[in-house]
Structure formats: C-alpha cells, structure tokens
Amino acid sequence: MEDYFSYTEKLFNPAEAAGKPEALKGVRVLDFSHVIFGPIAARLLADYGAEVIKLELPFSGDLWRPATYWGKYWKHSNPIWHNITKNKYFLSVNLKLDKSKELIYKMAETADVVVENFAPGTAEAWKIGYSQISKINTKIIFLSCSTYGQYGPMRYFPGWDLLAQGASGVLSLNGYPGTDKFFKLPDYLGDFVPGNFGALAIMMALYYRNKTGKGQYIDVAQTETLMRLLSNYTFHSVMGGEVGRTGNSDPTMVPASILQSKDKKFLALACTNQEQFSGLLNAMNRKDLLTDERFTSNLTRSKPENARVLTEIVSDWVKSKTGAEIINIAIDQSFPAAEVEDDYTICNSSWRRARGSVVLFQDTMYGELMIAGPSAQLSGTPSRTKWLARPLGYHNRLVLKKFLGMSDEDIMDLEKKKVIGTFDDRPGLKPPVYYNLAEDPIYNYGKEVNQ
C-alpha cells in the first residue's frame, strides 16, 4: 500500500487546486455589508466559488477600506482589506437613491443570497430588507448581521466586535486573576467568528433549499455566536461562582500553560490525558509524580491547589531546556507543545507555504501578496484565492453589462445621475499609482482597450 503521506500529498496537491470543482459555483450573492462581520460571511462563500457582488457607496466606499494597521498602506491599498474582501465583484452604487433600488431589485431576481449588516431596521427602511426582497424572489436566503440581533430591546444599539466581546463576557476573561489587567481578543475576532457562523448558516440554508426549494431569513447576532463558544455559563449554573480569568494557564487541564524556555522562547505545553502526562513525566525524569494522589487524574490535577504545584514543577523544567529541545521531546513522548508564533514567523514558515495555510498570491493588479489560506483544506472542492480586493467601483461595467445586460448608454446615464460611481483620491479606494486603469479590460468591460 502506498505510504499515507505520499497519498495525501497527491490528494491535496496545491498545484492542482485551481483546476478542481467549486462547491458553490452558480450561487449568486448580493453583499450589502461593510467592515468585517458581513463581508467575511460573503467572502467565505466567494472562496468556495459563489459569485459575490459587493455594493458600496460611490466615492466613500466601505468604512474599512482605509482602516489599515498604524496607517500603513501597501500600494495605496489596505493590506488587511485584501484578506477581508478578496474574490468579490466591486459595484459602487448609491443604495439610498430610488434609481439604485431598481438596479438592486433587478439583481435580486436572479440572486440566491443577500447579506447585510446595517443597523437593524435600516435595510427595511431603505426598502431593501427581507420583507421587500423576498417578494421579488421568494427563494432568497437573506442574512442580517448585527451585534445584538434583529429583535429584542437592545436591537437598535450600534455595535462592533468590541461590543460583542463586552456583551458576551469574553472580554473579561482574557487576563490575570485578582488584577485589572485584561484585554480584548485581538484582530477583531469578535467579527471573524460571527462571520464564519453567518457563512455556516447561509450554507445550511442553501442545503435546505436544494432539498425543498425554500428560502429563508437568517438573523445572526455576533454576541450570540460568541456565547456559543463559552461553557462558562454552564459552569456558573452548575457550580455557582465563576471561572473568571486564569492568566496564562488553561484551567481545564494541567499542565497547560504558556511558559518560557532556557533560551527565552515562549512556548505552550499541555497534557490532555493521563498517557501524555506520563510521557511528560518520563521526559522530566519524575515518574514518581505519577503515583502522587494529587496527580492521578486530570480531575485531581486541575484542582487549583494541585495545579499550582504541578505547573511550577513543569515551569522549572521548561526553564532548564531550550525551546527546540522541548519540541523534540514532545514529539518523542507524544504530548502537545508549540512555540508561540507571531505575524513574522507565521508568514515566513515554509511548511505553511507547502500546506497552503499561507499563499504567495500573484495578482494582476497588485503583484505578489502573501495571504492567509483557509482554516480547513478540502481535497475535492478547495477554497481558493482568485483575485484580491479591487478599487471602488472597479467592476461597475462588468456587473451592469454582463449580469444585467445594460447598454453603454444606460451605464452613462447612471454615472451622470450619480447612481453609480468610483473612487476618489484616498488610499484604500483608488488603484495603485503605477497601474493604468485605461488599459484594464475588466474595468473597461465591453469597450475596446489597448493592452
């Protein structure tokens, strides 16, 4: 029988991924959303082959276009934005105008999915909500994203990832007990997690529609999706009291901490069961602890007084070895250990490149950019990056002509009436300075261009 890893290497060969089928091919999505939560839900659909048309206001665009880290732009674009909105069609249309609504209603006839994350009630007030769109297309799957949900006394409160972290209680958990040192989850995780749940709900609805022909309305409150990830509520209801903050240790198993090695490397080390614990003790030359009644099971080791003692013993041992030594021992004895990785080590790690967890993408407009791969690899219908974010209104002509069959005169009329538009001079909205849009066949779709 062929060696397992040569078999899987072929099954997942990244060089063949682009030629494989796409699970969501033929699914059309209207994406009215902005910032991160909604756009991520729509992007995940695009990654698996859906045709996502993102609508933005002319000359201002999505709020997040200019929001880069420490004001650092890359080729006049926001590098983070490329990851959030790749693979989409960028249509810039003023949603508030009646003329735009005609366009949207027309697109809604052939759309399968709508995603929006305006303040609850806004889409309805603008007559592009579920009650209006579902009259045009009864099979539509319509996702509304918000912080607190579409109903309930807090529905009109505005929110961001931060507020969802605050309202679910997760913000209060990251830090040290008995201090006021605690921190929000980084990188807007309170948007990305709900974005993934939004995509999950849409795909469940697509699966259901394939069986029954029925569309539906979906209400995802980002706070509730974060709540799904916390068993702290159950702890409280069963035990009274709270788990609270536990610093750098996982209170559910011992040892499980972030520690520092002899060569000052930070690394996480854990034992999830008795077998792994025995392997660790073997490596530490402390087999005597295996019969210590305080440490005979994870349940007893996790008691705070025992956890403290054991964590200290393990921490001292880690201090006596280099990071690399510990990782080798961990492979040998089969217990979990990993160095703390950061922005730099992740993007420069060769195995992640080989796996496709980070991808050096070659884009027709921006050239080379390293971009994150998917958080799950599929052998048959893999997620893929087809193009990066584009300037505001870049696909106006393509969408209107190809998808809506409009003529050049119609399009000029829309431009004149400011129903559609493009970018202004702000970074994040415009193309890179070196790029000649006049020669771009997609931007000028349907016109003669000199390439």
Partner 1 sequence: MSPKAQKEEIYTRHASSHPSELGKSLADMMNPEGKAEVLDDVLVLDVSSGNFAGIIAASLFAEFGAEVIKIEPPEGDPARLMTPFGANVKGVGIPFMFEARNKRYLTLDIKNNDSDRKIFRKLAQKAAVVIETFPAGDMDSWGIGYRQLGRENTGLVYIAITPYGQYTDKARQFARMPDSDITSQAGSGLPAEMGDVPDAGEPYNWPLRAGMWAGWYISGVSATLAGIVALIHRQNTGQGQLVDVAGMDAYASMVGIPVSIGYTWQKARPRIGVLDFILYPYGHWKCKDGYVAIAAPRDHDFRALLKVLGLWEIEDDWRYSSDRIPDILEQATHLHKLIEKETIKYTADELVRMALNYSKKSARSKWRGGGVPIVMKLMTPETAMESKQWQIRKTFQEVEDKDLGKYIISSNFVKMSASPPRVKWVSCEIGKDNDYVRNKYLQE
* Subset of residues 52 to 111 that bind partner 1, contact rule: CB under 8 A: 63, 67-72, 74, 79-80, 82-84
In the complex, least distance from residue 370 CB atom to partner 1, rounded to whole angstroms? 4
Burial tier of 357 (Cβ tally within 10 Å: 0-12, 13-18, 19+): middle
In the complex, least distance from residue 128 CB atom to partner 1, rounded to whole angstroms? 16
Report 205-234 residues binding partner 1 (CB under 8 A). Answer: 205-208, 210-212, 214-221, 224-225, 227-234
Site string for partner 1, 14-33 (x = CB under 8 A): -------x-xx---------
Q: Count of residues binding partner 1 (CB under 8 A)?
A: 175
Report 112-151 residues binding partner 1 (CB under 8 A). Answer: 121, 148-151
Which tokens sit at 370? 């390293």
Residue 420, helix vs strand vs coil = strand
Tell me: does residue 424 bind partner 1 (CB under 8 A): no
Bridge partners (DSSP) of residue 257 are 249, 269
Tell me: does residue 391 bind partner 1 (CB under 8 A): no
Q: How far apart, in whole angstroms, are the C-alpha atoms of residue 17 and residue 22?
A: 10
Q: How far apart, in whole angstroms, are the C-alpha atoms of residue 447 and residue 440?
A: 10
In the complex, least distance from residue 396 CB atom to partner 1, rounded to whole angstroms? 26
Residue 216, helix vs strand vs coil = strand
Residue 394 Cα distances to 40, 59, 219, 292, 437, angstroms: 20, 12, 30, 68, 9
Q: In this chain, which of 106, 127, 355, 426 binds partner 1, going by CB under 8 A?
A: 355
Report 156-195 residues binding partner 1 (CB under 8 A). Answer: 156-160, 162-163, 165-176, 179-189, 192-193
Q: How far apart, in whole angstroms, are the C-alpha atoms of residue 221 and residue 255?
A: 35
Tell me: does residue 422 bind partner 1 (CB under 8 A): no
Say if residues 112 and 140 touch (Cβ distance below 8 Å). yes
Q: In this chain, which of 372, 410, 417, 439 binds partner 1, going by CB under 8 A?
A: 372
Question: Between residues 126 and 445, which has the closer beta carbon with respect to partner 1?
Answer: 126
**Closest-CA residue to 226 (of 165, 171, 151):** 165
Say if residues 119 and 146 touch (Cβ distance below 8 Å). yes
In the complex, least distance from residue 230 CB atom to partner 1, rounded to whole angstroms? 6
Say if residues 196 and 42 touch (Cβ distance below 8 Å). no
Angle of CA points 313, 315, 318, to nearest 5° = 115
Report 246-305 residues binding partner 1 (CB under 8 A). Answer: 246-253, 256-258, 260, 266-270, 272-274, 276, 297-304
Q: How far apart, in whole angstroms, are the C-alpha atoms of residue 334 and residue 271?
A: 9
In the complex, least distance from residue 94 CB atom to partner 1, rounded to whole angstroms? 17
Question: Between residues 194 and 398, which has the closer beta carbon with respect to partner 1?
Answer: 194
Q: How many CA atoms lie within 13 A of 134 on its CB side?
A: 13
Question: Between residues 366 and 443, which has the closer beta carbon with respect to partner 1?
Answer: 366
